[in-house]
């Protein structure tokens, strides 16, 4: 199979051409594990038109380091004529609570003018759902025709369908799980420790112009290895080496570059360093903790119809976890379908595959 070039262009795919974010204030939010914030802001974007009967609203929930710009990071899935068709549906995507792309998080200014930093409360995915739910009500949406999300996004949707039965008619969950395994908890901990052991972490109270960038960069290198597959890395890089500095070496080459460096080393260093320009270390720490703590023991009480998709080469969120979710949905008396896709791209396949999972989504949503 021909290699998918976009698989190795994450930061490029996430770059915005324009900023179309909107903001809604949801008031005071009390957090499940204690603490509160007096005024929480949620950033969101929307596409399409809400029908007069308000029965065509679809919520998109992003993965760990995504944002509200779903037509960018999920450009093969969301848009005019695409599986989540913005010509037929009113599509909303919010930036997650605790994030760093417009929604209140650790890097947001506190009432005293400094950032929340270490004072930001420990969050749960239940808190993130509550913030999204209030945000939707703030823009006039009280019931969803559908919700869709992958990885952490899928976990939040599952939480919503159990916490508030009847509010989501259809849910598409891709490359997700009911709870992190010991391996997944360990992966997150290794990435988090790269940040926490950076001397510039300063207990979470670092200045915006001097963040723990080295630790966050290393963390992202680990993540890139988890997002891809052995086959895709072998096909793209093999044991190839860099014979010369990149063309943009004068302005945008990692300081770690050296002659005869393995190509995969150069790739990881470049992507890790680019990531630190768009994401906050505090957000990474608080959201990975929330993901590790979350667990969906049962879908009992849910009235949602589910579609689960997974990818055979995804070793971060392996297919058996989606199969388990499908079985949980059936056990709860819900309609459910599970589709496992044979693609060699690893976990990031859920962001790029519009053919196989896209076909299942079109049938599921009637688009």
The token duo for 358 is: 């896209």
| Parallel/antiparallel/unpaired status of strands 57-61 and 78-79 | unpaired
The token duo for 279 is: 């994401």
The residues carrying an active-site annotation are 151, 314, 347
Instruction: Report d(CA 220, CA 182) in Å as an integer.
Output: 20
**Which residue in 178, 95, 127, 90 sits closest to 367, CA to CA?**
90
Question: Which element (helix H / strand E) includes 310?
Answer: strand 305-311
Instruction: Report d(CA 296, CA 155) in Å as an integer.
Output: 8
The token duo for 9 is: 């262009």
Q: Got the DSSP string for 16-39?
A: -SS---EEEEEEEEE-TTS-EEEE
The answer to whether 70 and 93 are in contact (CB under 8 A) is yes
Q: What sign does the CA torsion over 138, 31, 164, 104 have?
A: positive
């Amino acid at each position: 199979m021909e290699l998918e070039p976009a698989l190795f262009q994450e930061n490029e795919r996430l770059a915005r051409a324009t900023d179309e974010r909107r903001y809604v204030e949801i008031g005071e939010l009390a957090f499940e594990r204690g603490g509160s914030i007096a005024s929480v802001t949620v950033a969101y974007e929307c596409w399409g038109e809400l029908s007069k009967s308000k029965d065509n609203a679809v919520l998109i929930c992003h993965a760990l380091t995504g944002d509200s710009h779903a037509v960018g990071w999920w450009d093969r899935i969301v848009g005019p004529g695409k599986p989540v068709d913005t010509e037929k549906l009113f599509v909303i995507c919010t930036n997650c609570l605790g994030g760093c792309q417009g929604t209140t998080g650790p890097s947001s200014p506190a009432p005293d003018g400094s950032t929340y930093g270490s004072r930001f409360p420990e969050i749960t995915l239940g808190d993130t759902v509550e913030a999204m739910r209030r945000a939707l009500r703030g823009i006039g949406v009280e019931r969803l025709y559908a919700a869709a999300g992958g990885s952490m996004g899928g976990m939040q949707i599952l939480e919503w369908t159990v916490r508030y039965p009847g509010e989501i008619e259809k849910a598409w969950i891709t490359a997700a799980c009911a709870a992190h395994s010991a391996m997944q908890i360990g992966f997150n901990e290794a990435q988090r420790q790269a940040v926490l052991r950076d001397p510039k972490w300063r207990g979470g109270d670092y200045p915006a112009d001097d963040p723990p960038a080295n630790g966050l960069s290393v963390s992202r290198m680990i993540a890139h290895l988890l997002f891809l597959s052995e086959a895709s890395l072998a096909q793209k890089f093999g044991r190839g080496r860099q014979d010369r500095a990149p063309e943009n070496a004068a302005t945008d080459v990692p300081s770690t570059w050296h002659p005869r460096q393995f190509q995969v080393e150069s790739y990881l260093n470049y992507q890790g360093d680019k990531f630190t320009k768009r994401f906050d270390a505090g957000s990474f720490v608080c959201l990975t903790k929330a993901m590790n703590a979350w667990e969906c023991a049962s879908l009992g009480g849910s009235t949602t119809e589910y579609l689960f998709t997974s990818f055979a080469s995804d070793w971060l969120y392996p297919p058996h976890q989606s199969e388990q979710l499908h079985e949980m949905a059936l056990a709860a008396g819900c309609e459910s379908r599970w589709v496992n896709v044979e693609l060699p791209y690893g976990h990031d396949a859920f962001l790029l595959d519009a053919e196989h999972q896209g076909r299942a989504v079109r049938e599921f949503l009637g688009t």
